[in-house]
Amino acid sequence: MDLKEIIIKRRSIRKFKDQPVNLDTLTEISKYALLAPSGMNSKPVDLVVVTEKEKIEQIMNSRKSAFSFLKTSPACIVVTSYQSSSTWISDASIVATYVQLLTVEYGLGSCWGHVLERYQESASVEETIKNILSIPNNYRVLCVIGIGYPDEIKSEHTLDEVNRTKLHYNNW
């Protein structure tokens, strides 16, 4: 599958089959995602691969409505970054995007859930997840990505969806 085909096929999947994802597959996805570019090639991003159902449920409960896709997700990857990097948000976003594109390559689906600056009942979702996963204090959490075998069918994207008024050449 080429990159353009992966982009066309990638959709946010919120319902997954009751089928585990092989840890080797999750490790491969993670290794390739960590090859993503970063500011000054600093590579500040760390990934936490979570397959324990109890921890996934705890993460889901940290932001119940927005993370409902984790209810059926057999795995998730939490995208973190060393906070002293001036480009950590951009760097972590690129890695997270790579994760989502790579899931398609492996026949999986994914859904991105925002963590940064999100709260549930005045509790920081980021701090809750850091506590659940023992993430060091000098790291930030950008997002959680649910991963699994899709149990819903979504149509592929088409280039007809592109709003051409959003394309500008040489000037706005």
Q: In this predicted model, what pLDDT tens digit does every residue of 46-82 receive, in sequence order?
A: 999 999 999 999 999 999 999 999 999 999 999 999 9
- Residue 8 CB neighbour total at 10 angstroms: 16
Residue 99 near residue 110 (C-beta atoms within 8 A): yes
What pLDDT, in 10s, does the model give residues 152-169? 999 999 999 999 999 999
Amino acid at 26: L
Rounded to the nearest angstrom, the gap between the alpha carbon of residue 36 and the centroid of all alpha carbons in its chain is: 14
Q: Which residue do the tokens 């080797």 mark? A: 24
Q: Which of 132, 157, 144 is nearest to 73 (CA)?
A: 144
What is the CATH code of the structural domain delimited by 12-135? 3.40.109.10
Q: What is the pLDDT of residues 81-137, one digit of tens each?
A: 999 999 999 999 999 999 999 999 999 999 999 999 999 999 999 999 999 999 999
Reported pTM: 0.96
* Residue that the structure tokens 């997270």 belong to: 96
